[in-house]
Amino acid sequence: LDVLTPALSGPGPVDVENDTFTVHNPLDIGPVAPLPVLIAALGPVMLRIAGEQADGTILWMADERAIADHVTPRITEAAAAAGRPAPRIVAGLPVCLCRPSEVDAARERANRILAEAETSPNYQRLLDRGGATSIGDICVAGDEEAIAAGLRRYAEAGATDLSVRLLPIGDTLDDLRASKRRTREMIAALAKDLR
């Protein structure tokens, strides 16, 4: 962050010398528009760093309770103490538009194809901070109303942005493609309505 932040803040040179980096870049270039820096901060130390030095965090495997009780207070307190604006909290979620009778199938599919992250100690600690035991528990699945309600719960917990992982269900490739398309179109319509 000591190097990245000045490089993205330009125009201007980057001159950084610390215990890890020696960077003297005389190029006087910078982004055309402000470019936010978001880091994957999950634990207390990284959330403090994200609040103090970055524009926010990007999460995966965090349910509403983990965001409300662990992420939001730590990162916003650190940002406030550093005199920075309220940070962005990007919640990464699998989402599946389906009939209520298919919600269990969606959760099972999430556990089958996305569960590799659960073996990470960092993600496991984040799961433990919330009420979820698996990625299937975090999956927002159901009809349009259920998905809208699930996304509202994340917003109420402190998520400022959502990073949606489309989770299709079905028995055939055509079923999976149609499911993914329906979910994408519903999310796009919902995002448009929120603007």
Q: What is the pLDDT, as a whole number, of residue 171? A: 92
Three-state DSSP state, 110: helix
Q: Identify the CA nearest to 150 among candidates 160, 161, 138, 158.
A: 138
Domains along the chain with CATH numbers:
36-194 (3.20.20.30)
Q: In terms of pLDDT, which residue wins out, 121 or 184? A: 184
Query: How far is it, in rounded angstroms, from Cα 86 to Cα 83?
Result: 9
Angle subtended by helix axes 44-53 and 72-81, to nearest 10: 40
Q: Would you say residue 2 has pLDDT above 80? A: no
Q: Which residues contact 51 (CB under 8 A, 6 or more apart)?
A: 74, 75, 76, 77, 78, 79, 80, 81, 82, 84, 87
Q: What is the pLDDT, as a whole number, of residue 123? A: 83
**69-78, 115-124, 151-160: which has the minimum mean pLDDT?**
115-124
Query: How far is it, in rounded angstroms, from Cα 190 to Cα 169?
Result: 20
Q: How confident is the model at residue 158 (pLDDT cuts 50, 70, 90)?
A: very high
Q: What is the pLDDT, as a whole number, of residue 131? A: 86
Return the structure tokens found at 55: 């524009």
Q: What is the pLDDT, as a whole number, of residue 30? A: 62
DSSP labels, 163-174: EEEE----SSHH
Query: How far is it, in rounded angstroms, from Cα 78 to Cα 91?
Result: 19
Residue 163 near residue 93, CB atoms below 8 Å:
yes
Mean pLDDT of 155-169: 95
Q: Would you say residue 104 has pLDDT above 70? A: yes
Q: Would you say residue 66 has pLDDT above 80? A: yes
Mean pLDDT of 139-148: 95
Q: How many Cβ atoms sit within 10 Å of the Cβ of residue 18? A: 9
Q: What is the pLDDT, as a whole number, of residue 144? A: 94
Q: Which residues contact 41 (CB under 8 A, 6 or more apart)?
A: 47, 49, 50, 54, 57, 75
What integer best gives the mean pLDDT of the chain?
Answer: 88
Q: Position of tokens 């699930």?
A: 150
Q: How confident is the model at residue 32 (pLDDT cuts 50, 70, 90)?
A: low
Mean pLDDT of 136-163: 94
What percentage of residues in the chain have a pLDDT greater than 70?
87
Q: What is the pLDDT, as a whole number, of residue 125? A: 84
Give, in degrees to the nearest 5, the angle at Cα 6 between 19 and 41: 70
Q: In terms of pLDDT, which residue wins out, 26 or 36? A: 36
91 membership: H or E segment, kind and range:
strand 88-97
Q: What is the pLDDT, as a whole number, of residue 17? A: 82
Q: What is the pLDDT, as a whole number, of residue 166? A: 95
